[in-house]
Chains A and B, each alone.
Chain A
Amino acid sequence: MNFSYHIEGGNFSRAGIASSEVKKILKQLNVNPTAIKRVVVALYEAEVNVVAHAYEGDVHVDISPEGVTVVVDDRGPGIPDIPLAMQEGYSTASPEVREMGFGAGMGLPNMQKNCDELSIESEVGKGTRVTMKTRFNA
């Protein structure tokens, strides 16, 4: 099953809508709650990242009996140094993002924690693609 959602950069009131929809779908499919939480927390962190840093993005979710693959593709500034961005505590978030309760440099590490495979491809000035695979029986 495939689903797609659009994310608007800068619009914090809508951040989390895709994650919320995916959560409802996974619940309907009777996926175990621990796996659902891992998938949606990782996706929510990714959504917040797009809202916080990019101009816009798209979420593509592929659900199979074995697990979920989430691809988050954004048009934005890109990440110049991915290993640095992966470091806990490193953040380039604006004061506005911090006021929302994010921007402490924990998003990418938390996405890694909550999926079984994480890959990040980025081109400075163009955008970032994050792919997260989570297995239901992991």
Chain B
Amino acid sequence: MTLQEIVTLLDAEVVLGQEQLDKTIRHAFAADLMSDVLRLDTSEMLLITGLANVQVIRTAEMSDICYILFVRGKQVSPEMKALAESCGITLLQCKQSMFKACGMLYDAGLLPIY
């Protein structure tokens, strides 16, 4: 599904990366533990997390992850936004819980990494 479809489905806010909304996303991975994200061998995914700090952006940068969805209404700080911008990472925000957001996206066709 496209990022735009994800935004519409979750009524998400596009914090950064409006110009990326036509990109197609096939896989997603959800974690609050960045160590788990750093263990993945794949990069092409939407990272879904309820953790909002600058290390989430750093983790995505090192892992070549280009799209992050923050759930539970977690706010992106200006520092996180600036770093994401310099790395070309798209940031989305939604109000749903992790479980609900994942369920909706799975139902809509996003695939797990494993």
Instruction: Indicate if the CB atoms of A101 and B35 lie closer than 8 Å.
Output: yes
Given contacts A41-B38, A101-B35, A106-B35, contact A16 B55 (CB under 8 A): yes
Beyond A13-B79, A41-B62, 12 additional pairs, beta carbon < 8 A: A16-B61, A19-B58, A37-B64, A45-B38, A101-B35, A101-B55, A101-B59, A103-B35, A106-B39, A110-B35, A110-B38, A113-B39
**Residues 68-87 (chain B) with a chain A CB within 8 angstroms:** 79
Task: Give the CA-CA distance A101 to B54 in the complex, in Å.
Answer: 10
Interface residues of B (CB under 8 A from A): 32-36, 38-39, 43, 51, 53-56, 58-59, 61-64, 79
Instruction: Indicate if the CB atoms of B62 and A37 lie closer than 8 Å.
Output: yes
Report B37 CB to chain A, min CB distance, Å: 8
Report B30 CB to chain A, min CB distance, Å: 13
Q: Which residues of A contact B56 (CB under 8 A)?
A: 101
Task: Give the CA-CA distance A33 to B43 in the complex, in Å.
Answer: 10
Convert A30-50 into 0s and 1s, putting 1 for each residue whose CB lies closer than 8 angstroms to a CB of B.
Answer: 000100010011001100100
Nearest chain-B residue to A109 (Cβ)? B39
Size category of the A interface is: 20 to 34
Closest 3 interchain pairs by CB?
Answer: A101-B34, A16-B58, A106-B35
**Within 8 Å of chain B (Cβ to Cβ): is A102?**
yes
Nearest chain-B residue to A17 (Cβ)? B58
Task: Give the CA-CA distance A110 to B33 in the complex, in Å.
Answer: 13
Task: Give the CA-CA distance A16 to B51 in the complex, in Å.
Answer: 17
Report A106 CB to chain B, min CB distance, Å: 4
Instruction: Indicate if the CB atoms of B39 and A37 lie closer than 8 Å.
Output: no
Task: Give the CA-CA distance A106 to B64 in the complex, in Å.
Answer: 19
Q: Which residues of A contact B54 (CB under 8 A)?
A: 12-13
Nearest chain-A residue to B34 (Cβ)? A101
Instruction: Indicate if the CB atoms of A100 and B53 lie closer than 8 Å.
Output: yes
Which residue from B43, B55, B79 sits with its C-beta under 8 Å from A102? B55
Instruction: Indicate if the CB atoms of B62 and A101 lie closer than 8 Å.
Output: no
Instruction: Indicate if the CB atoms of A100 and B64 lie closer than 8 Å.
Output: no
Task: Give the CA-CA distance A33 to B65 in the complex, in Å.
Answer: 12
Which residue from A37, A44, A101 sits with its C-beta under 8 Å from B51? A101
